[in-house]
Structure 1
């Protein structure tokens, strides 16, 4: 029910009014699509990919990690929420792959795709965790 940084649209008055098509959720989905597109199509031999994924982890702790983040209010998202979101994204992607007909994607290719997605999600999770967890 809190306003997301950068969102200036209407907020629901109560939790019961929040829907998947609420303006703030649509706003967040745009960012999630951009993030997913980037991590699923990145060149993992490039240090820029790793730097981007690390900055995504940093920015959710309240530290300004991207130059475009000039707003005074920091973005602070609990690690639990980040991890649960990554788990949900992984589940959605895996389910989508498994539902593809065999004539579109062979079983062996589905297994490889699911394995690759799991690795990417776990890497992103680790790059979140390192900024939240004191060792």
Structure 2
């Protein structure tokens, strides 16, 4: 047991990106040495990227629950949908579809950034954006909304593919290879956390999120009031029309009498 227990500010874990990243990094042992090892792997990993990307999308294509997301309009691409709303259906999207080619390019860029980017706040914000863009939150409305179970499963598979490929590399000595594999393993846990932070709130919201939730609630209430007003106006119009008809019929009846 360490001589001095480190204090962690619980609220800052949910409101301060750098603070959260530093805490999780320290906890799992992701250090500057790991960052250097990932950069050191660039020359080898860059050559593995196409194989890794193909493996990921082949796996995604095996399940309608994951593949159906590519049948939806994507940020940066508009896709004509033929699937019924609410169902798992991605049959109109093939592995050769433009949307899959587009997504493969994005994953390729992501992996290349990993081995070349400086570990600064700008890159950290990019990793956080990768997590945020896939989720539905009060602060973001986009067409890419993936349930966390699929994101978690994908990271498990992606890490196994990458670590398996690294384990076969012969350009490094055993210690270097083990160090690089460990660095990537810890990185994937860090990235997974930057996904989960948008799904698992643990009852802590930032001021912006609180404001967004309040605004969304007000918008729904305003919409309900508009509907009630329209229904009231419609009922009134129907009542007037019915009254007019009855009056006309009554007048004719009295005239006949």
TM-score with structure 2 setting the length: 0.43
**Aligned CA distance change for structure 1 residues 11 and 37 (closer, same or farther; 3 Å):** farther
Aligned with 2:146 (options 73, 77, 80)? 77
**Aligned CA distance change for structure 1 residues 78 and 134 (closer, same or farther; 3 Å):** same
Q: 1:74 Cα shift?
A: 3.0
Q: Is the 8 A contact 1:10 1:23 kept in 2?
A: no
Structure 1 distance, partners of 2:81, 2:178, is 41
Equivalent residue for 1:41?
116
Q: 1:51 aligned to 2:118?
A: no
**Aligned CA distance change for structure 1 residues 98 and 58 (closer, same or farther; 3 Å):** same
- What SS is found at the alignment partner of 2:193? helix
Q: 1:62 Cα shift?
A: 3.4
Unpaired runs of at least 5, structure 1: 66-71
Aligned with 2:156 (options 82, 87, 95)? 87
Superimposed CA distance per residue, residues 55-81 of structure 1 (whole angstroms, 9 cap, x where no aligned partner): 11111113577xxxxxx8432111112
Superimposed CA distance per residue, residues 63-110 of structure 1 (whole angstroms, 9 cap, x where no aligned partner): 577xxxxxx843211111212222222112111111122xx1111111
Q: Is the 8 A contact 1:12 1:18 kept in 2?
A: no
Which aligned pairs between 1:1-135 and structure 2 lie closer than 5 A? 1=68, 2-5=71-74, 6-8=76-78, 19-44=94-119, 46-62=120-136, 73-101=142-170, 104-135=171-202
Q: Is the 8 A contact 2:82 2:92 kept in 1?
A: yes
The number of equivalent residue pairs is 126
Unpaired runs of at least 5, structure 2: 1-67, 84-88, 203-257
**Aligned CA distance change for structure 1 residues 36 and 4 (closer, same or farther; 3 Å):** farther
Specify the structure having the higher radius of gyration (Cα): 2
Q: Is the helix fraction higher in 1 or 2?
A: 2
**Aligned CA distance change for structure 1 residues 123 and 17 (closer, same or farther; 3 Å):** same
- What SS is found at the alignment partner of 1:134? coil
Structure 1 distance, partners of 2:185, 2:135, is 23
Structure 1 distance, partners of 2:82, 2:116, is 35
